[in-house]
Amino acid sequence: MVDQDDIDRFKELNYDGFRRLAREPGISNNQRIGFPDSYREGFADSILVDICTKLPVLTRSGGTIVDIGPGCGELSEKLINLCAERQHRLVLVDSTEMLNLLPDADFITKVPGQFPDNIATLTALLPDGADALLCYSVLHYLLQDFDIELISTSVSKLLRRKGSALFGDIPNISKRKRFFSSDEGREFHRNYTGRDEYPTDLLNEPEEGKITDHTLEVFISCFREDGLNAKIVEQGELLPMYNRRDDLLIEPDLE
């Protein structure tokens, strides 16, 4: 069970909202990145394993990795440690306030600002492109300020020919409604709320401004027009919101 007040606190976040959370005293790092502690506490290892299965370059050595919106949670810490072990170059793109909460190291380059506003800086910094780009639990915030075509085109510009990208942990309201319409979803809702009731409020939630199946289909189409393969992939069942979130994987079309 999760305190509803804790959830409501993070409902209307945007880029500037995260900048404020980065400076707010007395809150956890999970809260700074927009999650109640129960949503992320103890899940970072499982999340990173899931990411590595989809971006296997992370498990190799000597690559160039771009993380869009890393925040300051345990996952960003573990990704930094992995890149140090594997001798990757890691480019972190976030607000100055968030980046200041992350460590400095020779293999880390911090690019302040909101993606894709800083795409010119990034392409100049990485003229040969990135081997992998990660954007985890962030896409829905990007879509508040930028359209699908600009986001997808900017990602395509950053990837080298054999590069891959992962938009992870996407809150797809279409998938969420399908889940809460199922017996499993209704049981999940009862356990989650502690109340024996049908999740009518979730099923009737307005879709305007939310990511839906159609939104992801448009993304896939845009990436394919740029000569990349794009597809929806499932999250592993050990992840906290696997039953109501999607991952979007972008890979090169080398044929």
Average confidence (pLDDT) over 46-59:
97
Average pLDDT over residues 183-204: 73
pTM above 0.85, yes or no: yes
* 3-class DSSP assignment, residue 206: coil
Identify the H or E element spanning 35: none
Domains of the chain, CATH where assigned? 43-172+211-252 (3.40.50.150)
Query: Does the structure show a pLDDT above 60 at 28?
Result: yes
Confidence grade of residue 2 (pLDDT, cut at 50, 70, 90): low
pLDDT at position 255 over 60: no
Name the least confident of 183-192, 209-218, 243-252: 183-192
What percent of the chain is predicted at pLDDT more than 90?
A: 75
69, amino acid identity: G
Q: In what order do the strands lie in the sheet with 89-94?
A: 108-112, 89-94, 64-68, 130-136, 159-171, 245-252, 228-233
- Dump pLDDT digits (tens) for 114-131: 999 999 999 999 999 999
Provide mean pLDDT across the span 65-76. 97
CB 135 within 8 A of CB 54: no
Coil vs helix vs strand at 20? helix
